[in-house]
Structures are given as C-alpha cells and as structure tokens.
Structure 1
C-alpha cells in the first residue's frame, strides 16, 4: 500500500557509502502515514530526524519497502539508508558493540515509543528495500463478536457491530486473486498503473493463536495502489454483512471505476506484517527488473 507522496528514485550506493538495511515496526495511530509531509508527523520524518541525531549528520534519506497510509501499522517494515563508512563505524561511540546493534540501541534512546527499529545491518550487494521486494503481506483484523473485543487492542483491531459471514467473504476474496486491473480499488494517480498481481487474499476466523475469534484477512501482492487493501476490505465487508453477493466483488474489477466500489475500511485494522525478498544473489536483478518495469510504464503513460 502506497502513501500519499512518492519516494525519490532509489539508486545503488556509490563506492564511498554503505547501504544499511533497517527492520522496523510502528504504531500508525498518531502518524499521517509513512511519507514525509510538511507540517505533519510521519514515520519517515520521525525516523530520518532520529538517524540524523544519532549519526551526527543531516537527516539522511530513507527508502522504504511499502509506504503505509495514515493510521496503518507495521510489524515487518523494511527500509534502507546509505551512509559513509566512517559514519557507520563512528556510531559505536563508547559502546562495545558492532555498529548495527549500536545504532539500534542509540535509536531506541531518541525515537518515540510508537516507532521501534529492531535490526540494522549492512545490506547484501544489490539490495533495495523498495525495488528488490518480491511481495508485501498485510493483515486486516476485525472483532465482530462482543466476546472478541479487546480494549487493549482497540488501536489495531476494528470493532464491527454486525456479525460477518466469513465463508462468503472468503469466496469473494478468491475471485480477486491473480493479475488484474484494480482501478476500482485504487485512488487514481497520474501516470501510475493500477495493474497488480494479488498473490493471496484469504479471510478466516482463527481457532487458535493471538487472533482467535477475530475475522482476519491476509493479503499479499507484488505491490499495492494507494488505499487498495482498505478498498478491498470495504468491498468484502459489504459481502460479509449480506448486503452484496460474493460475485459482486469480482464484477467491480470489470467496471474499473473507483466510485463504483464500496467505501474504504478503517485504517487502524491494517498492519504490514512482512516484506519478502529473493535470495541475496538475485537482489540486484530483482531491483533492475522492477525499476525497468516502473520506468517503462511511466514512459507509456506520459
């Protein structure tokens, strides 16, 4: 799922810099999304400021795997930043740690509690947090039964007042898997394609684990349009409530008009759970192919 502002083009580091991979998580409740926006609190702006403080440099530019919208959370977000070797070595200071763990510890001391960097380490050759990614996986969580409503999870689980037909939602979801034009589920952006490959869209009610009793939708794709996952969930909710037939959701694909779709579901039920990458030896090729595909589309649509 992309945010409201595009990232600057990501390019491989030059010989005088190191590419550092950051694995992080955040509670999106009080953020206006990932992407930096003037006058607004964003994850990117907060993390770049913290990195500048810790590295004692101007705030460096981050490239992220998936730009999340306002209110959306992340448990498995990935970003990269390019830094000079001397800057990387100096982050240890007096800590008897390698630079990666030292950076994590120092960031913990300056970041607010709703952003956590779990790991920092030099990335393999060819790694690009955005273009090397194979897929992004999100979970959307709803509590449609009073006994499943947990006030301690109110920031990440949507309380839904009507019982949902999970089987009907799952049937509708299966019709959307594959490569399609998802224009009916995307906010249009000039020059941006709405064709996506939806690799997975499952809806279930787990019988065990931390989400037992909830309605959980798991969606994975090579990439997402702005608000696409929330729009998909809005349509599936119409089916789950019995207001629409399962076949209606697939019919929206054929219309290719955003106004024909159901309203977007609330942002706070959505969490970026995982970003997957190819094996190290294929990172550069994956980034090259993804970047070339994006640039070719931009040329065609100009």
Structure 2
C-alpha cells in the first residue's frame, strides 16, 4: 500500500513539474524587472510554433469539464504547423536536465501525437540512443534505467503510429529498434510492427534472440478487457506467510517467470512504477 501511494505521489509531482516548467518559462518571458545579465534563458522561442508547443504542454494534464476540448484545440494548432514544432521540441529538450523525466516524457509524447513524418528522425534518435547506466542508489524504489527505458518505448510507440500509416522509414526504424540491448524496447517495437502493414514476421524473428521469440505471441489488450476482481477482500485472505485465493495457494511468492525472462538484465527491465503515464486527455480523443 505504501509503495502504491509513493507511485501516485511521484506521478502527481511529475505532472506538477511540467506545469511549473511551463509557468516559470512564461513568467520569465513576461518579466521586465530583471536585467539581461540576471534573467535566465527562456527555453521557448518567440514564434507561433513555440507558443503552440508551450500551450499544448500546459493543457496536456489538464482536468475539468473543458479539458477534452482544450486538448483537442491545442493539438489541432500543434499539428497545423508540425514541421516547425518538430524543430522546437529537441531544442527545448536540450535545455532540460537529464533527470527531468516528466518534461522529457511530455516532449516525446508530443512528438508522437503530431503523427507527422517530420518527427520521425528525432523519435528514432531517442529510441535508438544508449540507455545510461543506473544512477539510483536504490533502483528497487526508483530506477533511472527504468525511467530512460520508458522514454525510449514512448518514442517507439510514436514511430509505430507512423509505421501503421505505411511509412516505410518508420517501419525500418522499428526493425532497427530490435537491435538495441533492451528487452522492453524489443517488446514495444514488436507490438508496433505487428500492427503495421507489409511486415515480415520472419524478419522480426531473425532480428530477435531466440529466447525472445515469445514477444510475437504477446497481445496488448484494453484495460477494460482484463479480468477484474470485484471484491479483493473477499477473494484474497492472508494465511500464514502466503495468500489463499479460492483454494489456490501461492505460499507467499509469485510464480517464477518463464526461463526466457529469468536472465533478464537490469537494464532491460521497465519498472511498473512508471511516473510517466499518458495524460488523462489521451483517452478522450
């Protein structure tokens, strides 16, 4: 339970961080009381594409009765000048600290939402970039490798959207992603390839290590299709060191993973404690 609240708190802080980043940059632009030597550099250029990007980031995690309409309007404005926006995104990203995962995620997600071929080179660069070594002193609570992996799988998903629209360069970028060391990136790329036209299943198999061929049999489902436990308190009962669920005893541990994932490297694991869930407005499109 404690870990769950930690995850919720981290996600909330991530959303706040994006908002603070936008608010600070906006206040810097409007302030005329600080001399040039003292004023921090405003990361947003003074042009329509930069303003459209700024406004989209500001409404990405918005809530309320008008959130869906605000998101749709901001996205339409963004897509109407996609090529210019794509030029702004990596420039903004370059001003961020490596550890600013929420804002980096927001920018990658924005590039994905453009669904424009101009975003492909940058998304490919992100997806294929090397994942830095673990920097956290307690990776079980917070893992920088997991955070960096999430950023790259988000970029893979954006590439997949283009591949599904018959963009051959995007399809090739997905195949290239199968050459990275990350199992999580392989999984994301395989899922996108299987949803794209004119894809060779044999080529996917040949690009993957044999012990990862199971990735082609995974199926992505909507959360509403997943089995739900109506009343966990009635279904699960603590018993000694284990749990008993309607006659099935687990003896206090989860079933071991299949042998093909048992030797997975730490750099290939994606934490279930992702702080970068897609914005709630994503489901309203």
> What's the TM-score, normalizing by structure 2?
0.25
Q: Give the number of the structure with larger relative contact order, counting CA–CA contacts within 8 Å between residues 6 or more apart.
A: 1
Higher share of residues assigned strand: 1
Instruction: Give the greater-gyration-radius structure (CA).
Output: 2
> What's the TM-score, normalizing by structure 1?
0.24
Higher share of residues assigned helix: 2
